């Protein structure tokens, strides 16, 4: 997996952890709440549930996009192997030049 994919997964996991902590905090203050606070807590809970669903949907969408991109890349490399080797060599050369300048 690439570093960006791992970073996105860690971010999603951290976001879920924060949402779970907020949910636990709301549950801990249940007995101390009055009617207004109770209504506010219900609104927050609804928003948290909605946010959780959006994060899960975004995560699934990102995973599907990554799979499609990997499949397209694999197909291209299999159908044009020498162009892929040439492109990889050019990128490697460019990176080597850039790193060598430091």
Residue 9: its pLDDT value, please?
74
Closest to 42 (Cα-Cα) out of 26, 19, 55 = 26
Which residue range(s) make up the domain with 87? 3-100
Angle at 22 between CA 21 and CA 25, to 5 degrees: 85
Number of domains in the chain: 1
Residue 82: its pLDDT value, please?
94
Residue 30: its pLDDT value, please?
64
Q: Evaluate if pTM is beyond 0.75.
A: no
The answer to whether residues 48 and 22 touch, using CB atoms and an 8 Å cutoff, is: yes
Low-confidence stretches of the chain (pLDDT < 50) are none
Name residue, tokens 């109770």. 38
């Amino acid at each position: 997996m690439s570093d960006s994919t791992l970073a996105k997964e860690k971010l999603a996991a951290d976001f879920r952890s924060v949402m779970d902590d907020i949910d636990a905090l709301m549950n801990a203050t249940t007995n101390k709440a009055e009617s207004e606070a109770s209504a506010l807590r219900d609104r927050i809970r609804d928003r948290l549930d909605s946010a959780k669903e959006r994060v899960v949907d975004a995560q699934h969408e990102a995973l599907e996009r990554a799979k499609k991109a990997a499949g397209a890349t694999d197909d291209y490399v299999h159908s044009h192997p020498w162009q892929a080797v040439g492109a990889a060599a050019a990128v490697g050369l460019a990176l080597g030049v850039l790193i060598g300048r430091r």
